[in-house]
Amino acid sequence: MRELPKELILPAGFVPPEIPDPPVTPKDAATVMLVRDTGDGLEVFLQRRVLGMAFAGGMTVFPGGGVDRRDADTSLAWHGPSPAWWADRFACDLSLARALVCAAVRETFEESGVLLAGPSEDSVVSDVRPYAEARAQLVNRELSLAGFLAESGLVLRADLLMPWSNWVTPVEERRRFDARFFLAALPVGQRADGATTEAADTRWQRPTDALEDWKEGKVGLMPPTWTTLAELEECATVADAMGRQRVIDKLMPRVARDGDVLRIVLPGDPAYDTASSHLDPT
């Protein structure tokens, strides 16, 4: 893993000066990096979150969100690595593993219109327009993923996802997530859109260009997004990225004061073990 750059600092007021006591329990979440091949190399789908959102407002992120209790429904048709396989990769129990994969598929569809499912175990939906109403019902929690797939005669394609990483929001923050990151290739015939109220704008971009935009101050990136873009920057193609053998460790950054600014530090950073429980300037 690359070391976080010193320039990656937190906006003023991003975290409270005092660590909540006790710390907020992280909510399980799934994040999906959609990737595609182009003549200029691998591109990833990015969203800039609406500025007023309670968590990461204004930041550029990948599609994703919290696990819904109905994501653990065992009735849906499933193809690909079993929940036991995912539980082993993400070091969690079977029920949560199933829910994480389902949340990854559901959130990807809700936020980008990309559906990782098909009418059979060896096919993928190429035209998602017939499912526009179901997408809206999923967003409004009027319909569960299992209910949608059953009504539509679709099979969840867990084999189209690859586990990538696991990030936990620092204890300093009042909104915390235990987010598992997945990688998925854009299915043939489908397109990712910006039809979500959570994003101010969306784009496909090469990881190198996204990191350059951050360096120039055009976008804001959180440490998991910066790190993932830096990792994807090393992948020449979708096949290259999907073929990487990843070791999934749970990473929980901490917030440390560095002079007049707050920055995120990872395990191994000298400032990690000395990060203060009080972040006001001294």
Q: Give the tens place of pLDDT for each residue, 100-143.
A: 999 999 999 999 999 999 999 999 999 999 999 999 999 999 99
pLDDT (mean) for 42-64? 80
Terminal CA-CA length for the chain:
32
- Residue 34: what pLDDT? 98
Given a cut of 70, whether residue 55 has pLDDT beyond it is: no
Chain Cα centroid distance, residue 70 = 19
Q: What is the mean pLDDT of residues 197-223?
A: 90
**Tokens at residue 166, please?**
């696991």
Tokens of 84: 């036991």
Decide if pLDDT at 261 tops 60: yes
> Cα 44 from chain centroid?
12
What's the burial of 52, exposed, middle or buried (CB within 10 Å: 0-12/13-18/19+)? exposed
Where is pLDDT greater, at 172 or 145? 145
Q: Which of 18-27, 161-170, 208-217 has the lowest mean pLDDT?
A: 18-27
Q: What pLDDT shows up at residue 57?
A: 59
Q: What is the pTM of this model?
A: 0.91
**Res 71: pLDDT:** 97
Looking at residue 2, its pLDDT comes to 67
Q: What is the mean pLDDT of residues 58-77?
A: 93
List CB contacts of 232: < 8 A, sequence separation 6 or more. Answer: 33, 35, 42, 44, 207, 241
φ, ψ (nearest 5 deg) of residue 132: -60, -40
| pLDDT at residue 268, as a whole number | 81
Residues 6+ apart with CB under 8 A from 147: none
Q: Among candidates 53, 24, 19, 13, which has minimal Cα distance to 176?
A: 24
CATH numbers and ranges of domains, the chain: 27-249 (3.90.79.10)
Number of H helices, E strands in the chain: 7, 13
- The strand pairing partners of 262, in sequence order, are 257
Task: Name the percent of the chain lying above pLDDT 70.
Answer: 90
Residues 30 and 263: their CA atoms lie apart, in Å, by 24
Is the per-residue pLDDT at 9 higher than 90? no
CB 115 within 8 A of CB 149: no
